[in-house]
Amino acid sequence: MRTTLPAGFPAIRARTQGQHRAMPQMHQQPEAAAMKVLQKRLDQMLFGEWGVVVAFEGGLGMVRRLEAMGLRRGTPVRLLASQPLGGPVVIDVAGTRIVLGRGIAKRVIVQTCSATRNT
């Protein structure tokens, strides 16, 4: 299953079956909104928002556990659900749904793009 990133999202490298391949660069239309790159925690993402994992704030054990689930630096993720009152978050990683507790999600830093209008 191929992951489709929104228009204007920076090109990233994805690891597929042991080989690196560059994901296609999506170009904006001239009249489209300008893209602003932001870094935030995974639990702060909005529903349906795309991001790329850039860092982990945790020990080696936590990082290894997340990597075993397929969540690595440079991996594109999309927030599917965020439960209220400190509940878990559900993300899409390469077509696979992963549920993370809020405490772990707070330790994953992602880079997102948000549209801003030039008025």
* Span 77-109, pLDDT tens digits: 999 998 888 889 999 999 999 999 999 999 999
**Residue 76 maps to a domain:** yes
- The domain containing residue 65 runs over which residues? 32-116
Q: Which two tokens stand for residue 103?
A: 């405490």
User: Residue 89 sits in a domain of what CATH number?
Assistant: 2.30.30.90
Who's near 78: CB < 8 A, 6+ residues apart?
A: 48, 49, 50, 51, 91, 92
pLDDT score recorded for residue 83: 86
Q: Which residues of 74-111 are buried (b: 16+ CB within 10 A; e: fewer)?
A: ebbbbbeebeeeeebbbbbbbeeebebeeebbbbbbbb
N-terminal to C-terminal alpha carbon distance within the chain: 38
Residue 6, pLDDT > 80, answer: no
Amino acid 41 reads R
* Section 16-43 average pLDDT: 59
**Residue 5 maps to a domain:** no
pLDDT score recorded for residue 84: 84
- Does 75 or 34 have the greater pLDDT score? 75
pLDDT score recorded for residue 109: 94
Separation in Å, CA 35 to CA 30, 32, 42, 63: 12, 9, 19, 30
* Section 18-43 average pLDDT: 60
- List the alpha helices (DSSP H) in the chain: 60-68, 102-105
User: How far from the centroid of its chain's Cα atoms is residue 114's Cα?
Assistant: 13
**Residue 107 maps to a domain:** yes
pLDDT tens-digit map of 43-76: 999 899 999 999 999 899 999 999 999 999 999 9
**Residue 59 maps to a domain:** yes
**Residue 51 maps to a domain:** yes
pTM over 0.75: no
Residues paired with residue 13 on neighbouring β-strands, in sequence order: 22
Domains in the chain: how many in total?
1
**Residue 2 maps to a domain:** no
**Residue 102 maps to a domain:** yes
